[in-house]
Structure 1
């Protein structure tokens, strides 16, 4: 199946941002009053074909974006040229994730979100659900300054793990790097969402 035929979870932008009253750019933490107002609208998700959503700015595609930590280090990965998304080749990221699909066995959107995020962690870096400690939703990430960002919103999770259990099955597409939090910025060359999170969360 083409990735464009994948059925994904989306939310109408007008509802999500309350007619732009709750719109933001950058990382929005759960302590911000807008966080609760925005996440309440996720109950009104719809299931749409990904290819139809890629250029439809009236909807936001829900994307999991999990920050993986082990003690005082944060996992950074670099997308190599073997990976699928050419726009991201050579860039660093601190978020492991992807588009969200409907999980019929889970009734509410919160459980669907966590199941999607956990699935991506298993697929990308080999972590089982039992390996995930202090797994929580800590905020949202949005960037309406470019055409890709205008059709996506990131649900930012954080999880603590034993770094010995982290690996990649795709050494031709991902290079894993553990970085002290205070040294994250020095690595540079991040994709936009990671840049914004490092700016707003770590600095």
Structure 2
């Protein structure tokens, strides 16, 4: 199946941002009033064909975005190589492991949909099995309407503490990973927009 035929979760922008009253750029903490209002709209998600959504800014595609921290308080940084799917992000570094979300049959809440999708991506991308990702913590959202990739995506941001021996790049043709002391990152130019915005917010 072509990636464009994948059926993904999206939320109409007018609902998500309450007719732009809750629009934001950057990282939005889950505990803020606006963050809680945006979260409450996620249960109104729809399922659409990815190819139809990639250039349709009237919908936001939900993307899981997991920040991994190891036992030495280092964060996982990876570089997207040319074998990866999103050509617009090749050569850039990222701190978020994740991807598009799919419907979860039988899910009883939006929390379950978000968690199952995030856990699946962690297993696919860095080999972290389900039983090692139970401490996944939702921390907020990331949005950037200033570029064509960001305009059609909304990141649902998670943080998870892991043992570095449990993590490896499963798709070595698309990702190269390393552990980095966050306090030593002083130049965000090499990072994709979402990562640089989160790094600035969490400093």
The alignment's TM-score, normalised by the length of structure 1, stands at 0.95
Supply the distance in 2 between the matched residues of 1:128 and 1:25 (Cα, whole angstroms). 32
How far apart, in 2, do the equivalents of 1:82 and 1:4 lie? 17
Q: Distance in 2 between matches of 1:51 and 1:187?
A: 30
For 2:144, the equivalent position in structure 1 comes to 143
Q: Deviations over 1:44-66 (max 9, x none)?
A: 11001111111111111000000
**Contact 1:9/1:102 (CA < 8 Å) preserved in 2?**
yes
Provide Cα deviations, 1:2-50, integer angstroms capped at 9, x if missing partner.
1111100000111111111111000001122101000001111100111
Residue 36 of structure 2: aligned partner: 36
SS of match in other structure, 1:134 = coil
Q: How many residues align?
A: 202
- Cα distance in 2 for partners of 1:82, 1:40 equals 36
Q: Which runs of 5+ in 2 are unaligned?
A: none
In the alignment, which residue of structure 1 is the partner of 2:201? 200
SS in 1 for 2:186: helix
After TM superposition, where is structure 1 displaced by more than 4 Å over at least 4 residues in a row? none
What TM-score results when the alignment is normalised by the length of structure 2? 0.95
Matches within 5 A, 1:12-91: 12-71=12-71, 72-91=73-92
Deviation at 1:146, TM superposition (A): 0.8
* Equivalent position of 1:94 in the other structure: 95
CA contact (8 A) 1:133 1:161 kept: no
CA RMSD of aligned residues (A): 1.3
Aligned-partner Cα distance in 2 for 1:43–1:151 = 18
